[in-house]
Amino acid sequence: AIAVLGSTNMDLVAYVPKAPHPGETVTGREFRTVPGGKGANQAVAAARLGGEVVMIGAVGADEFGVRLRAALAASGVETAALRTVEGASGTAHITVDDEGANSIIVIPGANGRVTGLEPGDDSRIGAADCLLLQLELPLEAVLAGARAARAHGVRTVLTPAPAQPLPAELLAATDLLVPNEHEAAALTGLTDPHRAAEALLREVPEVVITLGAAGSLYAARGRAPLTVPAPRVRAVDTTAAGDTFVGALAVALGEGRPVPEALRWASVAAALSVQRPGAQSSMPTRTETDTAALA
Ligand code: ADP
């Protein structure tokens, strides 16, 4: 099973021809509310792709919270460890332009009130094959999850987003780090992904740097780096491409598939997601991904 300790947000998405500059007003084409949040996105991606997934985190006591929980459940994610706490759910205010590029403001809401593990979380993490972590919960909660996983010998996969300096203890408890190229540069000060990967391998045993339409770069201690191309597709909305990639990777690795095959399959799943609008709404099913992977 896959445990996810992370955020749940309602994405408030404005589709605009071109994102406004500060002080500018533009007329957009469309507005949608779509369940998102990096944690929930990774959970849904993995569950749609056939993973058995438990989500640990919190939603607010508002309408968004009800919808966010329902969306997770509808994709087959176990939500018993998703708390409902006082106040607003997390929200992400997203602008997507005609090129498919996005800019995002995240307001943590309920996610900000997850400061550690609750009774039962430790055994949920201990029962999993891997724990997926991101940085949209307070760092103390992420650390508590990573510690619990370590104590149980459970593999930890950390998406270091949004980018921020990582405490040594968190890096030490991370098995696989999956930054995008911007996060890798922020962590290392190196813009060349190969050099950034090399630097990150001093901190963690395995790294995947995602490179958008250019694919991804896998590096592990004592192995030659591996570049995985992304399928050439027409991107309409790249929101959650990275989360789809990580969810898919966790499923494939959990099934015991070799890393190169797992990475290729994750790229196929992520490429399917960028061809449709939204975060969770864009994520492919197992059948779609297996079919596209054969094509
Ligand atoms: P994030 O969404 O975290 O910024 P990336 O943009 O690097 O991450 O995307 C993650 C993965 O999704 C990439 O490694 C790639 O496999 C896939 N992907 C992203 N954008 C595209 C695209 N335009 N075409 C095909 N695949 C893409």
pLDDT band at 62 (very low <50, low <70, confident <90, very high): very high
Tally of domains within the chain: 1
Residue closest via CA to ligand 1's atom 3 equals 242
Query: Which helix (H) or strand (E) covers residue 195, if one does?
Result: helix 193-200
Question: Residue 233: is its pLDDT beyond 80?
Answer: yes
Q: Determine if ligand 1 sits within 6 Å of the CB of residue 216.
A: yes
Sheet with 90-96: strands ordered across: 30-36, 9-15, 90-96, 102-107
Compute, in angstroms, the gap from residue 145 CA to the centroid of ligand 1.
Answer: 26
CB contact at 8 A, 224 and 89: no
Task: Please state, in angstroms and rounded to a whole number, the distance separating the CA atoms of residues 243 and 250.
Answer: 11
Report the chain's mean pLDDT, rounded to a whole number. 96
pLDDT band at 239 (very low <50, low <70, confident <90, very high): confident
The label of the residue with tokens 């270091």 reads: 160
The pLDDT value recorded for residue 77 is 98
Q: Determine if ligand 1 sits within 6 Å of the CB of residue 233.
A: yes
Task: Please state, in angstroms and rounded to a whole number, the distance separating the CA atoms of residues 35 and 83.
Answer: 16
- Give the mean pLDDT of 118-124: 97
β 30-36/53-60 pair status: unpaired
Q: Determine if ligand 1 sits within 6 Å of the CB of residue 193.
A: no
pLDDT band at 238 (very low <50, low <70, confident <90, very high): confident
The label of the residue with tokens 């991370």 reads: 174
Question: Residue 149: is its pLDDT beyond 80?
Answer: yes
- Indicate the range of 14-23, 94-103, 162-171, 254-263 predicted with least confidence: 94-103
The pLDDT value recorded for residue 278 is 78
ipTM of model over 0.95 = yes
Q: How far is CA 190 from CA 113, 157, 176, 242, in A?
A: 33, 22, 19, 20
CB contact at 8 A, 251 and 50: yes
Domain extent at residue 34: 2-294
Q: What is the pLDDT of residues 9-60, one digit of tens each?
A: 999 999 999 999 999 999 999 999 999 999 999 999 999 999 999 999 999 9
Pocket test for ligand 1, best of 94, 177, 180 (most atoms within 8 A of CB): 180
Compute, in angstroms, the gap from residue 215 CA to the centroid of ligand 1.
Answer: 7
Rounded to 10 degrees, the C-alpha dihedral 18/24/25/27 comes to -20
Question: Residue 277: is its pLDDT beyond 90?
Answer: no
For residue 254, the domain's CATH number is 3.40.1190.20
Task: Please state, in angstroms and rounded to a whole number, the distance separating the CA atoms of residues 212 and 223.
Answer: 23
Percent above pLDDT 90 for the chain:
93
